[in-house]
């Protein structure tokens, strides 16, 4: 059998990188749970027709079909491309058992058939938080979600040395109200073009608005002027008013966005700005929308995004509006790991290798290992009763810092310094920095 070739866009992590990822996921889980979010998991597949209704994403959906299906049969299921669409379906199916407002976090793989590049993958892990309610959802949750997400990302910055982030926030009611005030007939079509502003620039967006959406040159110019407003405070309100457009929905959007910016300046200063070009390409967003970049690595794109969705989940009688934010864990970590910005202090959880003097005494070594494990010390028993020098070299290759010799009352050697001291399996503990692999910025 020939050596298999890797599949582009489907990253697989080595053990040391996986330690970093688990460290990150643990910090995210802890932050989410501190704010009262409970964990759920949803299935990997959804009906294709539901996945294809969510904006310019249908060409990226992976269809699922049984290998043994009849020739010519059409696949009806697809792998979910985000966690919001399956969450909305989950809410509808389980509404009778949920306590509203329902707060959930979800960490799972998702799949998108887009062109692989740095920061963009076909299979990746997302960490989502959402709050959903029955009938109406209070506007203050639009403020709460970015504060929780920025708090989680700030913890990665302080604990691991991940670069700081900047969240850019807009409100679709603001944008759509502005477009309606300009007498534009199809605001969603305009939003989809504005969402491309960072990628293709204002001139190309202006051309798309006039050529494909059919707005006038004057309308397109006003749309682009609005999209180029960005402020770290509430001064964006006066700048929008200065454009001379009026509409009730515009007023509502301005007020909602100003509330988010005010709260962020108090609780996470310097981490959030109002940026009126942020649109988000998915059609289900109806209010506040968020995108987040690593400072200094803006070219990697958004590593956390989301928004308000008022009508994604409805059974015809009750609507379940929600607001959510997603952290692209793989998008965040893969480039940082690939470029050596983050590392683990060792590639295994093992802190101690228990040496084996002879195969006849192996179970004595196993008993020592069990005593250490009972006190939370990760250890393993040497695979072979080689000379002690070989066992030490084995530990060194594995990145294991300590080797234990003898029985429960034996000796332990720090193979980095060469220090060897008497130790008792029921009392000895490695230094705190060695008990678990440490994760941080490379340096």
Annotated binding residues for L-histidine:
82-84, 112, 126, 130, 280, 284-285
Q: What's the start-to-end Cα distance of the chain, in Å? A: 41
Could you give the count of Cα atoms lying within 13 Å of 282 in the half-sphere of its Cβ?
Answer: 25
Q: 252: helix, coil or strand?
A: helix
Q: Which helix (H) or strand (E) holds 78?
A: strand 77-79
Instruction: Give the containing element (helix H, strand E) for 129.
Output: strand 123-132
Q: Distance between CA 58 and CA 114 in Å, rounded?
A: 11
| Strands 379-381 and 352-354, sheet pairing | parallel
168: CB partners within 8 A, 6+ apart: 230, 272, 273, 274, 275, 278, 290, 291, 292, 293
Helix (H, G, I), strand (E, B) or coil at 352: strand
Instruction: Judge contact between 61 and 79, C-beta under 8 A.
Output: yes
SS3 225: helix
Three-state secondary-structure class, residue 243: coil
Strand positions, DSSP E, 310-395:
322-328, 342-344, 352-354, 379-381
Phi/psi for 347 (5° steps) reads -95, 0
CA angle at 304 for the pair 301 and 307, rounded to the nearest 5°: 115
What is the Cα–Cα distance from 286 to 310, expressed in whole angstroms?
A: 6
Please report, for residues 23, 138, 306, the alpha-carbon distance to residue 35 in angstroms, rounded to integers and kept in the order given.
19, 17, 18
Q: How many residues does the chain have?
A: 443
Give the SS3 label for residue 216. Answer: coil
What's phi and psi for 380, nearest 5 deg? -140, 160
In what side-by-side order are the strands of the sheet with 230-231?
38-39, 102-111, 123-132, 322-328, 304-309, 288-294, 165-171, 272-275, 230-231
What backbone torsions phi and psi does residue 59 show, to the nearest 5 degrees? -75, -10
Residue 151 parent element (H or E):
helix 140-160
Binding-site positions: 82-84, 112, 126, 130, 280, 284-285
- Among 302, 240, 243, 249, which Cα is nearest to 276's? 240
């Amino acid at each position: 059998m020939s050596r298999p070739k890797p599949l582009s866009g489907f990253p697989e992590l080595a053990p040391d990188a996986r330690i970093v990822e688990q460290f990150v996921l643990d910090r995210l889980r802890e932050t989410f749970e501190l704010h009262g979010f409970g964990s759920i998991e949803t299935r990997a597949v959804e009906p294709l027709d539901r996945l294809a209704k969510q904006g310019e994403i249908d060409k990226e959906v992976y269809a699922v079909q049984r290998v043994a299906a009849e020739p010519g049969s059409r696949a009806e299921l697809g792998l979910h491309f985000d966690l919001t669409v399956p969450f909305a379906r989950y809410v509808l199916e389980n509404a009778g058992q949920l306590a509203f407002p329902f707060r959930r976090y979800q960490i799972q793989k998702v799949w998108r058939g887009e062109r692989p590049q740095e920061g963009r993958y076909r299979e990746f892990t997302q960490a989502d938080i959402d709050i959903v309610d029955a009938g109406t959802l209070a506007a203050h949750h639009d403020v709460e979600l970015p504060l929780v997400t920025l708090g989680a990302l700030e913890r990665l910055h302080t604990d691991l040395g991940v670069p700081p982030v900047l969240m850019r926030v807009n409100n679709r009611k603001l944008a759509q109200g502005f477009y309606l005030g300009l007498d534009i007939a199809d605001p969603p079509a305009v939003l989809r073009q504005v969402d491309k502003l960072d990628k293709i620039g204002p001139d190309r967006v202006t051309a798309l608005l006039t050529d494909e959406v059919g707005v006038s040159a004057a309308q397109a110019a006003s749309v682009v002027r609005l999209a180029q407003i960005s402020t770290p405070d509430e001064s964006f309100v006066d700048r929008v008013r200065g454009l001379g457009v009026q509409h009730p929905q515009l007023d509502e959007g301005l007020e909602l966005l100003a509330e988010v910016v005010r709260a962020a300046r108090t609780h996470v200063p310097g981490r959030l700005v109002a940026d009126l070009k942020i649109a988000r390409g998915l059609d289900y967003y109806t209010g506040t929308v968020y995108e987040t970049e690593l400072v200094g690595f803006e070219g990697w794109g958004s590593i956390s995004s989301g928004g308000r969705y008022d009508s994604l989940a409805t059974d015809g009688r009750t609507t379940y509006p929600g607001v959510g934010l997603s952290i692209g864990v793989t998008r965040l970590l893969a480039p940082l790991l690939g470029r050596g910005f983050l590392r683990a202090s060792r590639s295994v959880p093992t802190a101690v290798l228990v040496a084996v003097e002879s195969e006849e005494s192996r179970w004595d070594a196993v008993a020592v290992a069990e005593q250490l494990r009972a006190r939370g010390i990760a250890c393993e028993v040497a695979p072979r009763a080689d000379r002690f020098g070989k066992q030490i070299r084995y530990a060194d290759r594995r990145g294991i810092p300590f080797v234990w010799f003898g029985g429960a009352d034996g000796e332990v050697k720090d193979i980095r310094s060469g220090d060897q001291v008497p130790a008792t399996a029921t009392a000895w503990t490695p230094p705190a920095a060695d008990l678990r692999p440490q994760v941080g910025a490379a340096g």
